[in-house]
Amino acid sequence: MTPAIFGLSGTSLTDAERGFFREVDPAGYILFGRNIDTADQLRALTDDVRAIHGRDVLVSIDQEGGRVQRMKAPNWPPYPAGEKFDALYRLAPASAIEAARVNAEALGADLAEVGINCTYHPPLDVRRPGTHDVIGDRALGSEPMQVAALGRAILQGLERAGVVGCIKHMPGHGLTYVDTHKSMPTVTAGAEELETDIAPFRSLNDCPVGMTGHLLFTEWDADNPATLSETVIREIIRGRIGFDGLLLTDDIDMQALEGTVPERGARAIAAGCDIVLNCWAKMEDQQGLVDRLPALSDAGKARLDRALAATGSPARTADHAELLAKRDALLALTEAA
């Protein structure tokens, strides 16, 4: 199995994609707006990629709410950004936790209905004054315990819908003041301040799936960003955070990283990531990764199996409309305050 999650080019598989994916057997796929039209079309697409393999695979998406929502109106409802739950938590913590849980359950039900079993949510990045807008209103708060509490509620809500969440961006994106899509952030904070960033991840280290961030932490490794740093992955993510789930890179095509996409992917796997996330459906890059990457390790396969085992068994607590109505009533408490 190729240790990669690949993007798709359109709303249906091309013949070239179908043949390529059958041959190289990637660990999964990621969907974007270019792959989405209607619910029926999307379900047909996810059924088609599974039929290639004859087994379940991770079929994933970035579906948080707010600015990060690939499945959009009119076919799917809008979902609020993290700062809405942050605001409610500061007023009524228990109400915010329940609002985050039912919101995630409704969001997860949308995904499960169309055959998506993993969403890259929640972000556990602790917001700071001046945190770049690439995180911005996506953050669940500026206090680690609050971020962890809301993150746990989101994971539980997704689980109720039969969808696995992914904690990101380890070891923390809150101290970055540039956009990793465009350039490499350098974080010069010391060990004590960085404890704030890793605390939510440590609290939720039992999550089956996690994602690295493309940031350079001079305290830990002055030469390599977290995604490409054996030191950060071994000592911080696997060590101090204690995360033993399936570790994905953030999108390996981001401009924060140097070298070709296949070179970056090979370095990430060598550093200790389990899976390379390659989003943009460029066949040349996908083939290059296949040529450069080893097969998925035994440890990675076991982690992938655990992640897949956490999907597909919904324990719904209410219908979709009831979940959204409950969320809206709780969020409205901030307006009444």
Q: Annotated active-site positions, please?
A: 181, 250
- Interior CA angle at 235 toward 232 and 240, to 5°? 110
Q: What is the DSSP pairing of strand 68-69 with strand 63-65? A: antiparallel
* 108, 120 Cβ separation under 8 angstroms: no
Amino acid at 112: A
What are residue 61's DSSP bridge partners? 31, 119
Secondary structure class of 211 (helix, strand, coil): strand
Bond preceding residue 80 cis, omega within 30 of 0? no
**Tally of residues, the chain:** 337
Between CA 81 and CA 95 the distance in angstroms is 16
Q: Which two tokens stand for residue 157?
A: 């809500």
- How would you classify residue 9: left for phi > 0, otherwise alpha for psi between -120 and 50, otherwise beta? alpha
Euclidean distance between the first and final Cα of the chain, in Å? 53
95 to each of 20, 110, 113, 126, 222, how far by Cα in Å? 48, 23, 27, 20, 42
Tokens 């995904």 locate to: 111
Secondary structure class of 209 (helix, strand, coil): strand
Between CA 279 and CA 60 the distance in angstroms is 11
Which letter, b or e, does each residue of 205-232 get, where b requires 16 or more Cβ atoms within 10 Å of its Cβ?
Answer: bebbbbbbbbbbbeebbeebbbbbbebb
